[in-house]
Chain A
Amino acid sequence: MKHYTIEEAKKIITGYDGPHIRIMEVCGTHTHDIFKLGIRSILPKNIELISGPGCPVCVTPVGYIDEALMLALEKKAILCTFGDLIRVPGTKMSLADARRDDADIRMVYSPMDALLLAQQNPDKEVVFLAVGFETTTPITCLSIKHAEKLGVKNYSILTANKTMPNAYMALKDSADAFLYPGHVNAITGEAICREMLEKEGVSGVIAGFTAEELMDAIAVIIVGLQSGKPFFENCYKRVVREDGNVKAMAAIDEVMEAVDTEWRGLGIIPMSGLKLRDRFAAYDARKKFELPDLKGKPNPACRCGEVLQGKCKPSDCKVFGTGCTPEHPVGACMVSDEGACSAYYQYGGAF
């Protein structure tokens, strides 16, 4: 396969004059980097980049935030979370609002820190908010195995872990080709992408994250689509091996199993989420605290759901940039730096 320098790729991209094509990136970091590099501003009119549901914070449904709020406010648990999630609005408030009301919510960089906190506070319940894709899930699973080995009883997790394969299936008609998420593929390998090609005839390339890698991947897609045949290429070979990270995948498989799960904006996608296996039920916060089934109500003005499916641009939403800003987000896509609305607001405003 031919690879392209930034200059060569730029020529292919800006010189494209074929039929309208839609390319969907399904990784929040790609969304952020594409905006930061200004790639959208050099695209001709007939190439459309769609930001798919690749930011774990963005696809977390409102009901999940409501569950977390109940754990913090009613069950008085210490919640541990990755930073972004703290500002995502639930039905009535965000975790940041709850923290102002004295809920004990801590930011961590790893679930292992949450486990440590549980050991240091044996008289308190500590719950880790387990969101994320195949990249962060293995370490969450390890924290469960460690908790079991150490006999830590006051640690549990609230799962909202998601997996990519079935999301691609749900989205396959939204785009002509996928820019596959290099970090996820580093764990899962190439198999899913090959399956998409062989079973569904869906095209895509695995992309890295530097300016060179992203430009190359987009150029490869454009050249591939012009060939008329479905294709798959790994443009991030320096990191992604064919069989991925077997150990990490085994860690997930030992502790978790597939389950139907809700994606904000996309609804329930069958078998696209993960929950703890029965053997680890003692670490499942939903069971431990007997949480009711909470159906959250998103703010009706917010169009995050359509943004996540590429059906509308962030700027098409009425509250974008007025009622909804990174300081006061209405929808999840405005919260995380990897969210399409936030990236559009911060990098795209003037162009």
Chain B
Amino acid sequence: MKNEVVTLAQGAGGKQTSQLIHEVFAKHFSNPEFTADDAAVLSLGDGKIAMSTDGFIVSPFEFKGGNIGKLSICGTVNDLACMGAKPEYLTCAFVIEEGFPIAKLEEIVTSMEETAKKVGVRIVAGDTKVAGKGQVDKIFITTTGVGRLTPGVNTSGALARPGDCVIVTGDIGRHGCTILLERENLGIEADVTSDCAPLWDAVEAVLSATHDVHVIRDATRGGVGTVLYEIAEESNVGITLDAKNIPVEGAVEGVCGMLGLDPLYLANEGTMVIVAPESEKDKILEALRKIDHTKKAAVIGTVSSDMPKKVVVTTEIGAKSMIPEPGGELLPRIC
């Protein structure tokens, strides 16, 4: 099958469909719960579960630091993780454009397998559709996940309180910057790699250090700036950042300078915002810094009751300035 492409017949539900499932998906996703039946039957034990779904249409589907497959696992795993839920099971639905190379499909599926394995989440059911040429852009993936909530943990965007500190788990803006640079017509060369990574290990580490965490949110589309405005709005608090503590890679800063973009509004796919009481700050930072992709975690600001629903920044010259509110920017498809 190596040099072949996906055909409409493989999406028709017949023999060729089961061949595709068998030779590509089942080969990589197999586990005791993976089913050929109409639905997977699972046991989730007692307690509450979290459930989330997300569609992925990133263009280009391969980028420095990952591909749409890795992204589709990270996206849903991270949404669950941010609720304090250990990701247990995933389903995935593919919409593939007729003519898509099987070898590329297998690369994507392999990334999904590897990422899922790293997290310890099992892919238990899936669906494959093949769309005619031009009806989708190469490949779209939707994943749905369920996870078990960690007892005693209660996080929400509405729980930030005056006196809390605001932490980012890594340097910001790399995924959005990477995707922008992969677009053909920019003509800018810079060494930037997407931060795309599953974050359950980081959340698990934080929650084993303390359960006293108010907000955990992954700063995907819209970036850290958008997440901070959401938290300020939902919790009816003000947030003040310290410009000099916001971690941004030099190359990302350079690209942003050239294109007039703010790293606060570039997407991340492996970076979270955590809001927690000041007293928990050191425990959280210590836990995060032990894990490779969150070792640059930093406190970037504080929560107060001043100027509710606004995000302000203490700038490099010690003056106060607003962080612009998120707007409808014309940015290309990034996730």
A→B interface (CB under 8 Å) = 6, 10, 32, 35-39, 41-42, 83, 107-110, 113, 211, 215, 326-327, 337-338, 346-351
For B259, the closest partner residue in chain A by CB is: A109
Per the bound structure, the CA–CA distance linking A35 and B317 in Å amounts to: 12
Per the bound structure, the CA–CA distance linking A148 and B126 in Å amounts to: 56
CB distance from A239 to the nearest CB of B (A): 13
Residues of B within 8 A of A35 (CB): 321
Interface centre among A38, A42, A107, A109 (most CB of B within 10 A): A38
For B, the interface residue count at a CB cutoff of 8 angstroms equals 22
Say which residue of B186, B260, B315, B318 sits within 8 Å of A337 (CB atoms). B260
Determine if B330 and A38 form an interchain contact, defined as CB atoms under 8 angstroms apart.
Answer: no
Q: Does B316 have its Cβ within 8 Å of any Cβ on chain A? A: yes
Determine if B319 and A41 form an interchain contact, defined as CB atoms under 8 angstroms apart.
Answer: yes
A/B interface sample: 20 pairs, CB < 8 A: A10-B318, A32-B260, A36-B315, A37-B319, A37-B321, A38-B321, A41-B319, A42-B318, A108-B185, A109-B259, A110-B187, A211-B317, A215-B317, A327-B327, A327-B328, A338-B260, A346-B322, A346-B324, A346-B325, A347-B324
Residues of A within 8 A of B317 (CB): 6, 10, 37-39, 42, 211, 215
With contacts A108-B185, A109-B186 taken as known, whether A351 is within 8 angstroms of B320 at the C-beta atoms is: yes
For A215, the closest partner residue in chain B by CB is: B317
Interface centre among B319, B328, B330 (most CB of A within 10 A): B319
A-B contact count (CB 8 A): 61
Determine if B327 and A37 form an interchain contact, defined as CB atoms under 8 angstroms apart.
Answer: no
Per the bound structure, the CA–CA distance linking A304 and B310 in Å amounts to: 27
Per the bound structure, the CA–CA distance linking A215 and B317 in Å amounts to: 8
Determine if A36 and B185 form an interchain contact, defined as CB atoms under 8 angstroms apart.
Answer: no
Contacting A at CB under 8 A, from B23-63, are none
Residues of A within 8 A of B325 (CB): 346
Per the bound structure, the CA–CA distance linking A103 and B34 in Å amounts to: 50
Determine if A38 and B307 form an interchain contact, defined as CB atoms under 8 angstroms apart.
Answer: no
Say which residue of A107, A215, A337, A348 sits within 8 Å of B330 (CB atoms). A107
Extra contacts besides A41-B320, A211-B316, A337-B260 (17): CB < 8 Å: A36-B315, A37-B316, A37-B321, A38-B317, A39-B317, A41-B319, A42-B319, A109-B185, A109-B259, A211-B317, A326-B327, A346-B322, A346-B324, A347-B322, A350-B307, A351-B320, A351-B322
Say which residue of A38, A41, A113, A211 sits within 8 Å of B185 (CB atoms). A113
Determine if B185 and A348 form an interchain contact, defined as CB atoms under 8 angstroms apart.
Answer: no
Residues of B within 8 A of A113 (CB): 185, 187
Q: Does B312 have its Cβ within 8 Å of any Cβ on chain A? A: yes
CB distance from A195 to the nearest CB of B (A): 30
Per the bound structure, the CA–CA distance linking A191 and B154 in Å amounts to: 64
Residues of B within 8 A of A337 (CB): 260
For A348, the closest partner residue in chain B by CB is: B322
For B322, the closest partner residue in chain A by CB is: A347
Residues of B within 8 A of A347 (CB): 321-322, 324
Per the bound structure, the CA–CA distance linking A108 and B328 in Å amounts to: 19
Determine if A38 and B187 form an interchain contact, defined as CB atoms under 8 angstroms apart.
Answer: no
Per the bound structure, the CA–CA distance linking A39 and B187 in Å amounts to: 33
Determine if B322 and A349 form an interchain contact, defined as CB atoms under 8 angstroms apart.
Answer: yes
Per the bound structure, the CA–CA distance linking A41 and B314 in Å amounts to: 11
Per the bound structure, the CA–CA distance linking A37 and B312 in Å amounts to: 11
Residues of A within 8 A of B260 (CB): 32, 337-338
Residues of B within 8 A of A346 (CB): 322, 324-325
Residues of A within 8 A of B330 (CB): 83, 107
Residues of A within 8 A of B187 (CB): 109-110, 113
CB distance from B242 to the nearest CB of A (A): 13
User: B301-335 vs A: 1/0 string, CB under 8 Å?
Assistant: 00000010010110111111110110110100000
User: B208-236 vs A: 1/0 string, CB under 8 Å?
Assistant: 00000000000000000000000000000
Determine if B316 and A6 form an interchain contact, defined as CB atoms under 8 angstroms apart.
Answer: yes
With contacts A41-B321, A108-B185, A337-B260 taken as known, whether A350 is within 8 angstroms of B316 at the C-beta atoms is: no
Determine if B320 and A38 form an interchain contact, defined as CB atoms under 8 angstroms apart.
Answer: yes
Contacting A at CB under 8 A, from B255-284, are 259-260
Per the bound structure, the CA–CA distance linking A22 and B175 in Å amounts to: 43
With contacts A6-B317, A107-B330, A211-B317 taken as known, whether A350 is within 8 angstroms of B324 at the C-beta atoms is: no
CB distance from B221 to the nearest CB of A (A): 18
Per the bound structure, the CA–CA distance linking A35 and B260 in Å amounts to: 14
Determine if A350 and B185 form an interchain contact, defined as CB atoms under 8 angstroms apart.
Answer: no
CB distance from A117 to the nearest CB of B (A): 9
CB distance from B238 to the nearest CB of A (A): 10
Per the bound structure, the CA–CA distance linking A121 and B187 in Å amounts to: 21
Per the bound structure, the CA–CA distance linking A215 and B315 in Å amounts to: 12
Per the bound structure, the CA–CA distance linking A348 and B322 in Å amounts to: 6
For A32, the closest partner residue in chain B by CB is: B260
Interface centre among B259, B310, B321 (most CB of A within 10 A): B321
Per the bound structure, the CA–CA distance linking A299 and B313 in Å amounts to: 35
Per the bound structure, the CA–CA distance linking A35 and B328 in Å amounts to: 21
Residues of A within 8 A of B310 (CB): 350
Residues of B within 8 A of A41 (CB): 319-321
Determine if A38 and B315 form an interchain contact, defined as CB atoms under 8 angstroms apart.
Answer: yes
Residues of B within 8 A of A108 (CB): 185
Nearest 3 CB-CB pairs, A to B? A38-B319, A38-B321, A346-B324
Residues of A within 8 A of B312 (CB): 350
Determine if B186 and A36 form an interchain contact, defined as CB atoms under 8 angstroms apart.
Answer: no
CB distance from A127 to the nearest CB of B (A): 17
Per the bound structure, the CA–CA distance linking A113 and B188 in Å amounts to: 13
Interface centre among B259, B317, B319 (most CB of A within 10 A): B317
Residues of A within 8 A of B321 (CB): 35-38, 41, 347, 351
Residues of B within 8 A of A37 (CB): 315-317, 319, 321
Residues of A within 8 A of B320 (CB): 38, 41, 351
For A117, the closest partner residue in chain B by CB is: B185
Per the bound structure, the CA–CA distance linking A32 and B259 in Å amounts to: 13
Per the bound structure, the CA–CA distance linking A182 and B319 in Å amounts to: 23
CB distance from A293 to the nearest CB of B (A): 32
Per the bound structure, the CA–CA distance linking A108 and B185 in Å amounts to: 8
